[in-house]
Structures are given as structure tokens and as C-alpha cells.
Structure 1
Amino acid sequence: MSVDRPRQSLPKIMLWVASAALVVMMSVTVLDVILRFAFRIPVRGAYDVVSFSLLIMVFFGLAPVIARAGEITIDLIDYMVSPRVLVLLETLATCAAFAVFVFLGWSMISPAQDAYKWGGHSLELGMPVWWLWAVAFVGLSGILWVCLRRLIADIGRLRTAATRGPAPERSRT
């Protein structure tokens, strides 16, 4: 078993969940449009299913992007600074991303508690809303785990760059 396999299994699982949510979202939308246009029979609960699928897609789709360093980057200063500075900037960006997701999680606690305490329900299907918060927290914990793993890797690259000279190029594909 490879050392990288356990590290990459969580992002792969999260990618599959996000992909399934996207397929559900698209299928329900297409089916709703076709049935509404052809037979004047809308899909009951389509709005809720699409909303729930979007939440799942977002919270489970970010971790694979972070794991492969697939964020949008703008190479404005890459050619003007040394590779060590680039590694430092990438490490700082990872720290910032981690801080943003921690803040997001912290900000989600109170509304999630309120949803559980007061028992809100979705518009069309009447499903309890608190479980959506639970799904969001599961996705967010995966994001934080992947972000922390990447931060550890970036700090290792930063140490290597400081002791051995120029940093190795990182693939941006």
C-alpha cells in the first residue's frame, strides 16, 4: 500500500459524493423541465432536491480542489520572485484558506443549533433542515482535514526550500 493512498482516499470519496450530487441536481432539473413542458406535471420537491444537492456539491467538492492545489492562481509575480518566496506565498495562501474555513465553521455553529432547536423544515418536502447543517459540517470537516494536510505538506516544502536551495516545481495541473 502506498503512503499517499490514505491521504488521497478522503478527497476521492468527497469528489464522488460531490459528483453524485451534481448528477442528481442536473437530472432533477432536466426531468422537471421536460415533465412540466410536455405534460404539465412538475416534479414534486424539485426545488428542495436541487437546493440540497447544491449544498452537498459545494461542501464536498472543495476538498478535492484543495487536495490537488487546483485553486485558480494568477501568476503575476511568479517570474519576479525566487522559488523560495513562491513556496512561502503558497504556504501563506494555504494558511489563509484554513483560517477562512475555520471561521466559516465557527460562524455556522449558532444557526445550526437554532435549526436543530427550533425545527425548521424545507419548503416543498417538509424535511428537517438541521440535517443539512449536519451534512455541511461533515463536508467542512473534510475540507479542514485536507487543508491541514496540505498545510503540513507546504510547511515541509518550505523547510526543504530553506535548507536545500531552490524549491522543486509544483505541478499546477
Structure 2
Amino acid sequence: MNRAWMDRFIDTIEWIAAGFVGIVALNIFVGVLLRNTLNYAIPDSFDIGRMLLGILIFWGIAATSYRGGHITVDLVWANVGPKYQRMIDVFATLVLLFVVTVQTWTLFDKVRTTYNDNVLTFDMHMPTWPFFAIAWAGDGAAVLLIAIRTYRLIFHPEDIHDAKVKTVE
């Protein structure tokens, strides 16, 4: 795979996740502002906010999965040599790839059943399946990014951009 293409893809996923953070923040800000100044509630703001948070979580999984920005326990990893550290990284990433792939499969079933059951929001009767589909797309992006991370860990470990975090030993 072309390295520059993969890096652009990774950056795009991270920007999409950041965009959803902004959308969730804007939704909350506007809802609170209207409620406190004009005593007006946006119709379906609770349902929309809840579904946007779900979208944010799944796109956040995609953004943190590649960079290694999620919470890790490095007790064993920190006390072994580089060869074993790489083996642990590959094993852990393969387990993560398996788990997120299964999660993506089951979330697709949720999108399908929500669409087939015609689940709607309470006030405006908007279909909810598009929100679930966007969340599913984030989970699918996570699978792709974890696959790229696995590929790079095995064949090009120098291309991994792990988050640099201060560890306590």
C-alpha cells in the first residue's frame, strides 16, 4: 500500500472524528443557550444529542485505535526488550482488530434492524437509522485503521505514530 495514501486516510478519519466533537459541542451549546435565554427546547434535541454521542464514540474509537491514544497497561511491556515489545504490540493489535471487527458486524445488524423497524425520533419523527449508519461507518473506519496499524507493526514498525504518553513505572 502507498504510505502517503494511508497517512492521508488516517488523517481524514481523525478530522472526521474531530468534526463530530464540534457538532456535539455545538448541539449542546445551542440547546442550553435556547433553553436558558428563550425558554425554548429544540425538538428531538435529546434524541439527536444521544445519537450524536454514539457517533462520536465510534468515530473516537477509530481515531484512537491507530495512534495508540487509548488507555493501556504497560506493566509487562515496559519490562521486556524491544523484540518482545513488538510481539506484544502485534498480538494486542490483532486482538483489538478481532474485537472491533466483531463489534462492527453486530453494529451493522443494529443499523439493519433499526431501518427495517422504522424507528423514529419522538418529536419530529425522523428516522434514526442514518445516525446508526454513521456510527457504523466510524466503526468500519476503526477496523481499517487497526488493519493498517497491524500491517505497519508487522512490516514497517518505523511508520507507527504512537501517542507519546508519560508512563509511570
Q: TM-score, normalised by structure 1?
A: 0.80
User: Does the C-alpha gap of structure 1 residues 132 and 156 become closer, same or farther in structure 2, counting only changes over 3 Å?
Assistant: same
Percent identity over the alignment is 20
Contact 1:11–1:63 (CA<8 Å) still a contact in 2? no
- Find the counterpart in structure 1 of residue 18 from structure 2: 19
Question: Is the Cα contact below 8 Å between 1:25 and 1:54 reproduced in 2?
Answer: yes
Matched residues, number: 162
Matches for 1:107-146 after TM superposition, within 5 Å:
107-146=106-145
**Residues 51, 10 of structure 1: CA spacing in aligned structure 2 closer, same or farther, 3 A cutoff?**
farther
1:73 Cα shift? 2.3
How far did 1:111 drift?
Answer: 2.7
Q: Distance in 1 between matches of 2:76 and 2:55?
A: 35
- Which sections of structure 2, spanning at least 5 residues, go unmatched? 165-169
- Preserved contact between residue 105 and residue 140 of structure 1 (Cα < 8 Å): yes
- Shift of the 105–55 alpha-carbon distance from structure 1 to 2, 3 Å rule, reads same
* 1:162 corresponds to: none
Name the amino acid aligned to 1:46: S
Look up the match of 2:62.
63
Structure 1 residue 45: deviation in Å? 2.6
* Preserved CA contact (<8 Å) 1:60 1:139: yes
CA-CA distance at 1:94 after TM superposition: 0.3
Query: 1:1-173 alignment to 2 at 5 Å?
Result: 3-156=2-155, 171-173=162-164
Superposed displacement of residue 51, structure 1: 2.1
| Residue pair 1:22, 1:53 contacting (<8 A) in 2 also | no
Aligned residues of 1:65 and 1:71 also touching (Cα < 8 A): yes
In structure 1, list runs of 5 or more residues that go unmatched. 159-166
Alpha-carbon distance in structure 2 between the residues aligned to 1:170 and 1:48: 36
User: What is the CA deviation profile of residues 61-84 of structure 1, one whole-angstrom value per residue up to 9, with x for unaligned ones?
Assistant: 222222222222223123422211
Paired position in structure 2 for 1:163 = none
Where 2:79 maps in the other structure, the secondary structure is coil
* Superimposed CA distance per residue, residues 13-62 of structure 1 (whole angstroms, 9 cap, x where no aligned partner): 22222222221211221222222122211222321331232122222222
